[in-house]
Structure 1
Amino acid sequence: MVIKEKKRHLAVIDIGTNSTRMLIFRNDQGKLVRVNKSVRYTRMGQGVNQTGRLHPDAEKRNMEALEEYKNIAADYEVEEFYLFGTSAMRDADNTGAYLDAVNEKLGFEIEVISGEAEAELGFVGVSQCFDEKILIFDIGGGSTELIYGEDNEIKRMMSINLGCVRCTEEYLFSDPPTFQELERMNEKIYAEFEKRTNGFLPTKPYKLIGIGGTATSLSTIKQGLKTYCSEMVHESTITKDELERMIDSLASKTIKERQNMVGLEAKRADIILAGAFLLLNIFKITGETIFTVCDYDNLEGAAYRRFVMEK
C-alpha cells in the first residue's frame, strides 16, 4: 500500500485599503499551487485620508473577515499564516492598537509593509508569469505602485499616494459625479503622476501589465463575466480606446446603476470610476495604448517570497 504524503497548506492574507484577501496554497517542489482565493470588501481606508485614523466600522468589518478567514483556513488545515497590511494601515495613527486587538482575539500577527515592499511583492507575483521587460502598475485603494523589471529582476519601483478609495473620497461627491469633479480629479492625478514619474519610466519597448482589483474588474466588465474566472481574466488585454468607452459608460451611471452592471462587483461600484481614471493617466504618462492583465499579484508574491523562495 502506498501512503500518500499529506499536502501542506499555507495561507497569506493581504489587508488592503479596499479589500482583504486570502490565498491558500501549497509549495509543490518550489512551485506555488493556488488552492483557494477569497476576497472580502472591508474598506479599511474608510476616512483615513481625512482623519488619519482607522474607522471603528472598518476595524469591525476587517476583524469579522479575518475571523471568517481563520475558519476557512481551518477547513483546509492551514499550518502557517503570513498577514500583511498596506496603504491604509501605513497611514493611520491608530494601526498599532488595531494590530494588538487582532493578535489578542485571533492570534494573528500582521506586518505593515512599506509601499516599496508592496511593489516588490507585486513584481514577484507577476514574474511567475512573464519574463520579458515589464512595467507593472498596481492601482490599490490608497496608493498606486509602479514597478519596472527586466529578466525577473526589479530595476526600479515607486509608490504614489493615489488610489481609488482615496481619490473617490477626495474628489467625487455627486452621484453620478459632475463633469467638474471628474475633470478636477483627472487633472490632479495627471499632475502627480507626471511629477513623480519624471525620469522613472523605462525606454520602450516593454510590456505594460496591470495587477489588482481595478485592472481585473475592468477586464470582467469588458468581457461581461457574471462570475470571476481567473483563466478568462489572466493575460486578457484592454486598450486605451476601450478604457475611455468604459469611463464614459461608468461616469453616466449612478452607483446603484453601476452595482447592477454585469462584470462589476457591487462593493466596487463606488470606486471603479476613480480607478479607471488612475489607469487612464498611466496610459497618458507612458504613451502606451494597451495593457495586459495579470491575475498573479502581491498576494502570490508574498506567498512565494515568504514560503517558497526561502525554503
Structure 2
Amino acid sequence: MRVSAIDIGTNSVRQLICDVEDGSLIRLRKDVKITRLGEGLIKTGRLNPGAVQRTVETIEEFISMAEKEGVDEIYAFATSAMREAKNKELFLDNFSKFNIALDILDGDTESLFGYIGAVKGIKLDKALVIDIGGGSTELAYKGFEFIKESFGIGAVKLTEEFVKSDPPSLEEYNDMRLYIIDTVVNSIGKYNEIERLVGIGGTITSLAAVSQQLEIYSEEKVHGYVLEREEIKRILDRFMSVSLEERKKIAGLQPERADIIIAGTAILLTLLEIFNKKEITVSEWDNLEGAVLYKFGGMNI
C-alpha cells in the first residue's frame, strides 16, 4: 500500500510518501516547505490569511506530488497552530477543496506519533523522545507506563513572544529559558528512569546539519547523529553572536529557519540541562513515520 502523510505544522508543511508492507515502512521521499502557518498567532490568536494561503498552496503541491507517485491513501493532520487558532474555519474552508479528511491532533496523539516514529527509526530502549515544533514541544517515554505530554512552547511561538532584538539579547534569551523551565518543571519527576534522549523536529535536525557544516542536507548524516550538549552551546553562541542575515548564511541552516533557530535551540538546551543529559541522538524518523505506522501499519505502544 502506498501512502502519503502530510503534517501541517505551525512552521512548516511536510510530506512523507512511503510503502507500507506487513507493518513495515519503506520510505520513498520526504519533503518540507516552510509556510509559517502560525505567523502572528501568539499575538492575535487567529490565523493570518496570507499564511493560510501559503500553506494551502503547499498542500496542493504535495497532493499533486503524491498523486504522481501513485499513492493509495493520503492522511493529513494538523498540530499546534490549528489546535489553538480561534478562526481555524478559515483554514478548513480552504482545505475542503481537496476532499480529504483532516485530523487536528491533540497534544497526546502528536506525542504518540512522534514517539512511534523515533523509536522505530533509532531503536533505542528507555529513550525519552523530544519533539520541538513551531508551536509546541512534546515529550514521550515508555517505562512502566507510557507517558506523553505536550507543552505550549515552540520555536515560532517563543520567537514572537520574547525576541525583539537582532541578534537576541542575553536578557531575552534568559527570559525564554526561565519561561521554558516554568512550563515543564512540574513534569520532570515523571521521567526519572530515562537513560537516553532522542530528538525530532526541524530544530534538532538543523543543529545536526550545522554541527557537521553540511552545505547540502543529508538524511543519512543527520539520522543517528549524536549532538553533545557542549556542541549545542557552541552553536548557540555562534547564532547569538551574529545578525539574522549572517545566520542565514551558516552552513547547514535553512535560511527560512534562521529567525526561529535560537528559540528552538533554547528549548533543546534547557531540556538537556533540566534532565542533566550530556547528549541527544537525532532522528530523521518522526511523527510522519509514526502516523503512517499507527494508521496503516498496525503499530501502537
TM over 0.5: yes
* Root mean square deviation, CA, Å: 1.4
Match of 1:63 in 2: 56
* 1:41-69 Cα shifts (integer Å, max 9, x gaps): 01111111111111111101101101111
* 2:115 corresponds to 1:123: yes
Task: Please give the residue correspondences for 1:148-159 in structure 2 after superposition, counting only pairs within 5 Å.
Answer: 148-150=141-143, 155-159=146-150
Query: What is the identity, as a one-letter code, of the residue corresponding to 2:163?
Result: L
Question: Equivalent of 1:84, from 54, 77, 80?
Answer: 77
Query: TM-score normalized by structure 1?
Result: 0.92
Question: Equivalent of 1:266, from 248, 255, 279?
Answer: 255
Based on CA coordinates, which of the two structures has the bigger radius of gyration? Answer: 1
Task: Please give the residue correspondences for 1:147-296 in structure 2 after superposition, counting only pairs within 5 Å.
Answer: 147-150=140-143, 155-195=146-186, 197-204=187-194, 206-296=195-285
* 1:106-129 Cα shifts (integer Å, max 9, x gaps): 223211010110000011111213
* 1:123-182 Cα shifts (integer Å, max 9, x gaps): 1111213141111100110111011124xx862111110000000000001111122211
* 1:70 Cα offset (Å): 1.4
Identity of aligned residues (%): 39
Within 2, Cα distance between the matches of 1:131 and 1:235? 10
Within 2, Cα distance between the matches of 1:35 and 1:60? 27
SS in 2 for 1:216: helix
Query: TM-score normalized by structure 2?
Result: 0.95
Q: In terms of mean alpha carbon deviation, does 154-163 or 35-44 score higher?
A: 154-163
* 1:100 Cα offset (Å): 2.7
SS in 1 for 2:92: helix
Query: What is the identity, as a one-letter code, of the residue corresponding to 1:254?
Result: S
Q: Is the 8 A contact 2:56 2:95 kept in 1?
A: yes
* 1:99 Cα offset (Å): 1.3
SS in 1 for 2:86: coil
Query: What is the identity, as a one-letter code, of the residue corresponding to 1:243?
Result: I
Q: Is the 8 A contact 1:193 1:281 kept in 2?
A: no
* 1:191-244 Cα shifts (integer Å, max 9, x gaps): 22223x24222225x111101111100000000111221111111011111111
> What is the count of residue pairs matched by the alignment?
298
Query: What is the identity, as a one-letter code, of the residue corresponding to 1:61?
Result: R
SS in 1 for 2:153: coil
* 1:79 Cα offset (Å): 1.8
* 1:183 Cα offset (Å): 1.8
Query: What is the identity, as a one-letter code, of the residue corresponding to 1:13?
Result: I
Q: Is the 8 A contact 2:126 2:193 kept in 1?
A: no
Within 2, Cα distance between the matches of 1:186 and 1:126? 26
Query: What is the identity, as a one-letter code, of the residue corresponding to 2:226?
Result: T
Q: Is the 8 A contact 1:149 1:155 kept in 2?
A: yes
Within 2, Cα distance between the matches of 1:302 and 1:192? 27
Query: What is the identity, as a one-letter code, of the residue corresponding to 1:270?
Result: D
SS in 1 for 2:190: coil
Match of 1:134 in 2: 127
